[in-house]
Structure 1
């Protein structure tokens, strides 16, 4: 992966144990090179530094994490620790329940809410021996693609704290990028795992809709028919391991799929026989020149790995944002707070109130008609996957923009919707319920990361991992680390 900024070198890798991958941590335990307490202490130090610089943590769970690390250290010494993630630190996005820990979801309305039950994904992680270190920042109810909220303020990018981390899983992605533990759990309703992962230069996976149960989810649930839960990591192997653990059937989630447990092959191999369709703009979207250039270089790498790459795409309706996504997504956001009054929402962001208001003005007919168009989009992907095994696109049409903004209104001279128009590649995949991942594929002229999105047919995560592993071997992005150096003024702004 080349540095498009022209800089001679990137900052050195962090030296703390929290910067190791999950597979490296587990290997270190087997060698008795360090203990879970050593790893957790280093990870907490990294989280504190990252939070100071970028505002990534909502609720620290440091004392609980230290106590759990001590318990697991004793078990390891006694030969009793057997979980697949024993002693590995994990962060949880603040839309996901952890029993006994506040779940603000970025909303002042939830300031007194403390769930008494773990989400299914948290239960699975705990059963595997993972150590939860904190809850990470998100925007209010996950409604936008940054992690800024009235509860936590502005979340920033460790590559440049003047820029956004993206969102809504922004604290999760920024923490992984900064070496604050190898695994973060995020959620993705319109791109909320993939956008921040792209902006922060890490790997993010949105599994097939229903593969990872959301129950009991966040109450009230937003993006009800769109939201997926998945991992954010620095390596493909860590994401595959995490998905193996958190995927599973749960009757409490009506969308949960009764799929048997699976193991994923992440050994880098030739892509011979893999047919990849590539679309830089879906035929109608605005894309920045730097993103276009990085995408074309990524296609050359996939070709060198043996893939058969052709220009192809689903042929979506250019009006899909206004006529399909918004009537569904905004209505579901409004339904999530249907019992709330204008006074209840007074402390919410104005942009969030606008989304709720728009959702309340769509009719039932609008919502159902959008569902029909959603089915047409799904059929377009069905036809595409008769021709190719996977689709690749840019993950986002731009790189990370100024922190504190909802988005950008113009790309390469073309006006776009400032809320969702600059991320045209992510939310169509949510409408279809397809699995998709983002992986780093380059940098823009300012040294900000650029992501490549890989989309595969339903339940075909193995193809995503196969392509991603080959690309990772050809362009090992995990060797690149951001610099979180901040002026004192920047530190003050990050807390604002």
Structure 2
């Protein structure tokens, strides 16, 4: 796939940002029905190449678009996202629509309730166009599953989209509408967004409710729901809509609704710490180069850069994450026996087996170490306002692979070792976003991760908006031809 600048032609409406769509509705230049038809056509083309859709909801979307068109025509649009299309990751419930979650044993499961985020979206007039691909239970950082097959990257169909919100990120990157809902347990919003060259935001743990529909409740203490979008302004708008307190989610935070400032500005007075490797990670040289260039851009925008400010123990993956994450995965499917799991990926069955072998003591000891990691970030944010890292240590690898086990000649864990910057942030519950910051020699996107203190999504969005203005990425799009 080639890197191209946008040109006029088919599916132009589907490529517009949410803010541009709303302005177009307001001015009467086009209608929600015209947009939805364009988005459906774009989804069909992209799905044929990249495999991003699990269950289409096109007829429901058309009916909702007709209602929105009538409302806009009468000057009475309903909601802040009236007539704006959005896709929903298949781990998140939409009432009356199958929620397979990548699991063969869920083939007949149809929830009768909407997830809280879907309720919020529909209340603000957003139109759900489809459920997007994910791996089973979100257990890995690609979107491949026995249910939907391999999801591919619109920048190069021989490469993975990343995951587990891979269908969501690939669809947004390919211009199939401006907004998507993803989930992130160990990087599942940020990794595919980085691989596909879009914006992905993991909010503070508990800011966006997961109840009543998130199946199964894997990564129980790790998983966040959040936005994927093409622009920072769209990501901010989507987060404003879905962030809410919901007593059905025990982790939900009683935080008042907020509006975020995303007008690009200089970063004078902001102290940004950087870490290219967390003191132990192996990073592809081209990712390193892109990260260093991005750090220079932040400095040119007025930020005070504090280099090499975050260093952690190299055994965090084995001693903290896996005992927690794998145990929570196993607990989420405790009622599934070997027969129910027989059609699952071998790698998934391996994760479940390992999770069942950890003891309660292993889990609690890892939780103590997790508290120590959280304390390290508390100390860090006493010295800097925000932290930036590469989002992923590599660019998109071969489609269908679990991961890579070699980076720059060094051996890494194939499941999670090539994404050393994402899962530590899940362990702490901190907010983090990825934004595009460059391309490798093959034309594959590279992401920059921005991390801020708890509940300071506003700072992340301020930094991202400034970077977006200085290094605009919307002008670049993958070509599916």
TM normalised by structure 2 equals: 0.98
The Cα offsets for residues 109-151 of structure 1, whole Å up to 9 and x where unpaired, read as 1011100000000000000000000000000000000000000
| SS, match of residue 386 in structure 1 | coil
- The answer to whether the Cα contact below 8 Å between 2:133 and 2:168 also exists between their aligned partners in 1 is yes
2:347 matched to 1:351? yes
Q: Bigger shift: 9-18 or 100-109?
A: 9-18
For 2:283, which of 284, 287, 298 is the aligned residue?
287
Q: Report the CA distance between 1:313 and its aligned residue.
A: 3.1
Which residue of structure 2 lines up, in the alignment, with residue 10 of structure 1? Answer: 4
2:248 matched to 1:252? yes
- The answer to whether the Cα contact below 8 Å between 1:13 and 1:479 also exists between their aligned partners in 2 is no
CA distance in 2, matches of 1:469, 1:68: 32
- The answer to whether the Cα contact below 8 Å between 1:13 and 1:480 also exists between their aligned partners in 2 is no
Q: Report the CA distance between 1:14 and its aligned residue.
A: 6.3
The Cα offsets for residues 145-198 of structure 1, whole Å up to 9 and x where unpaired, read as 000000000000000000000000000000000000000000000000000000
Which residue of structure 2 lines up, in the alignment, with residue 270 of structure 1? Answer: 266
Q: Report the CA distance between 1:408 and its aligned residue.
A: 0.1
2:82 matched to 1:89? no
Which residue of structure 2 lines up, in the alignment, with residue 101 of structure 1? Answer: 97
Q: Describe how 1:200-239 pairs up with structure 2 within 5 A.
A: 200-239=196-235
TM normalised by structure 1 equals: 0.95
The Cα offsets for residues 248-272 of structure 1, whole Å up to 9 and x where unpaired, read as 0000000000000000000111100
| SS, match of residue 199 in structure 1 | helix
CA distance in 2, matches of 1:251, 1:147: 30
Q: Describe how 1:335-350 pairs up with structure 2 within 5 A.
A: 335-350=331-346
Which residue of structure 2 lines up, in the alignment, with residue 20 of structure 1? Answer: 16
Which residue of structure 2 lines up, in the alignment, with residue 494 of structure 1? Answer: none
Runs of at least 5 residues in structure 2 that lack an aligned partner in the other structure: none
| SS, match of residue 263 in structure 1 | coil
Which residue of structure 1 lines up, in the alignment, with residue 148 of structure 2? Answer: 152
- The answer to whether the Cα contact below 8 Å between 2:162 and 2:191 also exists between their aligned partners in 1 is yes
Which residue of structure 2 lines up, in the alignment, with residue 334 of structure 1? Answer: 330
For 1:190, which of 177, 181, 186 is the aligned residue?
186
Q: Report the CA distance between 1:484 and its aligned residue.
A: 1.5
| SS, match of residue 182 in structure 2 | strand
| SS, match of residue 347 in structure 1 | coil
CA distance in 2, matches of 1:14, 1:120: 37
| SS, match of residue 343 in structure 1 | helix
Q: Report the CA distance between 1:81 and its aligned residue.
A: 1.3
| SS, match of residue 353 in structure 1 | helix
Q: Describe how 1:65-464 pairs up with structure 2 within 5 A.
A: 65-464=61-460
| SS, match of residue 280 in structure 2 | coil
Which residue of structure 2 lines up, in the alignment, with residue 39 of structure 1? Answer: 35
CA distance in 1, matches of 2:33, 2:8: 18
Q: Report the CA distance between 1:314 and its aligned residue.
A: 3.3
For 1:57, which of 40, 53, 60 is the aligned residue?
53
CA distance in 1, matches of 2:105, 2:212: 19
CA distance in 2, matches of 1:230, 1:409: 29
CA distance in 2, matches of 1:239, 1:105: 24
CA distance in 1, matches of 2:48, 2:452: 38
RMSD: 1.1
| SS, match of residue 208 in structure 1 | coil
CA distance in 2, matches of 1:316, 1:364: 25
CA distance in 1, matches of 2:383, 2:369: 22
Q: Given the superposition, is the C-alpha separation of residues 205 and 13 from structure 1 closer, same or farther in structure 2, using an over 3 Å criterion?
A: farther
Q: Report the CA distance between 1:315 and its aligned residue.
A: 2.5
CA distance in 1, matches of 2:76, 2:274: 48
Q: Report the CA distance between 1:483 and its aligned residue.
A: 1.4
- The answer to whether the Cα contact below 8 Å between 2:201 and 2:433 also exists between their aligned partners in 1 is yes
The Cα offsets for residues 450-490 of structure 1, whole Å up to 9 and x where unpaired, read as 000000000000110110000000011011000112xxxxx
